[in-house]
Every structure is written in C-alpha cells, then in structure tokens.
Amino acid sequence: MNNPHDSGLRQFVSFHIEGDLYGFDIRIVKEVYPQTDIMGVPLADPKIRGLINIRGQIVLVIDIAVLFGRSTRPITPDSQLVIIKTRQELELMHGMVDQVPDGAWSDKPVAFLVDSIGDVLTVEGTRIDRVPPHLSEKKAVYLEGVCRIDDELLIILAAQQLM
C-alpha cells in the first residue's frame, strides 16, 4: 500500500502512452481536451510540446513520453490533452493545496499530451502499491504508485512532480 490514508476508493482518469496505461487522480483533472492543434515554441525544452489556446486561455502542453526519455511521436487522431487544475482551482474545489509543497503546483493551466484517453478507473486504495524499487530515481519521482487492473498495470502519476 502506498499510504495509510489511501484506504478508500480512488478514481483515476486513465490514458495510454506508447501502449502503457497511466492515470491521474480524477480530483486534479480539469478536463480532457480533444483538440491537439499545438503551436510549437522555438528553442523550448523537448518535453515542452508547445502552447494551445483553450477558450481564450493559453495552456502549456507537456509531452509525458519525452519527459520519461522517449522520443517525440506524431500527434494522431486519438491524441488528446489532459488538462490539470491550477492551484487556485484545487483550493476552491477540493482544499487539496495543503497536500503539495509551495511552488510545486502551477498557477497557470498545464496540459499533458497523451496518445489516447482511457476510462475513469475506480480502485480500492489498498490495492495501490508503492513505486517498484527497480525504477530509476529519475522516473520514480514522477510516480505515485502502481495498481494491477485486470491484465494491465496502471501507473499512477504524481502531476505536481511532472510540472
């Protein structure tokens, strides 16, 4: 088990990146956005895929695959953006800001590029295991835990670390 306070039911927005199943805690996801017309940013770090305008708000797009050391891949019709709530949205809606250190949560909207969106998965918190010790510390810092879902492994991401 990851933490004792995780013993209740938890929900995750799931998605795939290069065939692997990942998820974000549903409480931190603002929306899933299908439009992936991303404007590149010259000379940006490769993990920064670009910017997108969503209803008049400029949103930074991060490519999780590149962050994990994989190559940039083309955007397909299945690609989508998972938009994470800002610090203010978390505070207003869930009172969750106390759970992350100052400066670890963005005051600006951030989206993560994913290959395809999955389902909302409900998991008993006691089924969530710690991050496997064989993972490099560089990758493990981005993970909250893992959970077996049928024949797949759900890799639970720590969004505040990714940002």
The pLDDT tens digits of the residues spanning 82-136 come to 999 888 887 777 555 555 444 456 788 899 999 999 999 999 989 999 988 877 6
What pLDDT, on the 0 to 100 scale, is given for residue 92? 77
Mean pLDDT (the chain, rounded): 85
Both tokens assigned to 2: 């990851």
Which amino acid belongs to residue 130? Answer: R
Residue type, 154: L
Domains of the chain, by residue range, sit at 4-162
The percentage of the chain sitting over the pLDDT mark of 70, rounded to a whole number, equals: 85
- The CA angle 96-33-60, to the nearest 5 degrees, is 70
Backbone angles phi, psi at 121, to 5 degrees: -105, 135
Q: For the domain with range 4-162, which CATH number is right: 3.40.50.670, 2.40.50.180, 3.30.450.20, 3.40.50.300? A: 2.40.50.180
Amino acid 41: pLDDT: 94
The stretch 67-80 carries a mean pLDDT of 90
Compute the Cα dihedral for 29, 66, 99, 3 and give only its sign. positive
Task: Supply the pLDDT for residue 48.
Answer: 94
Residues in the chain: 163
b vs e for 40-76, b when ≥16 Cβ sit within 10 Å of the residue's Cβ?
Answer: eeeeeeebbbbebeeeeeebbbbbbbbbbeeeeeeee
CA distance 1 to 112: 27
